[in-house]
Structure 1
Amino acid sequence: MAKRGKKYQEAVKLIDKEKAYDLEEAVELVKKVAPAKFDETVELAVRLGVDPKKADQQVRGAVVLPHGTGKTPRVLVFAKGEKAKEAEQAGADYVGDEDLINKVSQGWFDFDVVVATPDMMAQVGKLGRILGPKGLMPNPKTGTVTFEVAKAVEEIKSGKIEYRVDKAGNVHVPVGKVSFDTAKLVDNINTVMEALIKAKPAAAKGTYLRNVSLSSTMGPGIRVNTAKFAG
């Protein structure tokens, strides 16, 4: 394992590995120990008591963070005619149909989120092998396959994020920047946690929220007390 820098080592000393911190305290610590010179992203990691191999225990969806992520994503919309105009007016960065599909199939990826109207999905489906592994494939569950393209673009631009349980039962999402006020980060985190609890599959048994931790891009992880979150 690569040796961590001096700032990281100093940051680790400030954290009690055995302790699960209250949310506000954990957020304060993340801000305090972030070692990088740039404005690091604050990341939330939640280990869920689900078996992701089972179809009835999938956890996936999207939620709008009240204070955004601190980054404005580049949105690509596959749409035609009136819907293409709506997407452009709503502030989509790229809008098109076959031409854009061809461009992406040739390896162009200057975008962060993809939205598509349902009538485009037969063609967009051809990009599954390219977009799927990058987590960029439009999906009705996350509101990215819709005829309401203007609403979708506006929500994404204002801070809508997608969450999805991985093979190990973990959900990783950005919840803001180190420069955010503690209250805004707490607000964003609570919004994600509420969404995850609502998304609890009926088939999930035992403790649902197994572990919650926060970290900055380059900083160490800090455990959060799950008692204040229901579920």
Structure 2
Amino acid sequence: MFHKEGAKLILITTVIVTAWILLADSFIAIDWLRMVVQSIGLVLLILVLQFFRNPKRNTHVDDTTVIAPVDGKVVVIEEVYEDEYFKDKRLQVSIFMSPINVHVTRYAVNGKVNFSKYHPGKYLVAWHPKASTENERTTVVLENRLFGEILYRQIAGALARRIVNYAKEGTQVKQGTDAGFIKFGSRVDLYLPLGTPINVVLNQKVKGGETVIAELPSHE
């Protein structure tokens, strides 16, 4: 299964690669050279297809947990000051996605979208300390019925040039469902209340829609 955001690029790439292979077959007489040229085209198509893949995930919907919004590696777990929405200290958990990771963004919790904003910006490497405040990004705040508000931020990387965000203010969303897409390398930051029990460690690989990042305190 492929994500809808890749439909146009997949079609264009398929047409170009098909023409590339046919032209190579017609105009390159040397067998080994023709095979090399055709293989380059196939590799390009495979790379595009794998980037836009959208595998089904088995999300265990639970209001007491925050699940990973994306695939990748945990690169930050620290207390920070969040100055855009909360304007107070929060626990930040950041997940870095390489170009070979699945780049679908999924909702980390059930809840209502209280805030959703796009920010144009730079394209620093995604692990740069200033990427959270200077890169192209979107900020989304979800209100969960047990916990309250959490914030996640999609951040473009050095290769990314477009962030897709489906979160609309005032709508109800379901944990694990499609929240958007970031093209070609990026990062997602989660901002949780101080003291939230974290279930992951630095450099751990996580799977979007399945890995439990944190346990929200239950009020029941």
Fold match, TM over 0.5?
Answer: no
For Structure 1 versus Structure 2, the TM-score category normalised by the shorter chain is under 0.3
Q: TM-score, normalising length from structure 1?
A: 0.24
Larger relative helix fraction: 1
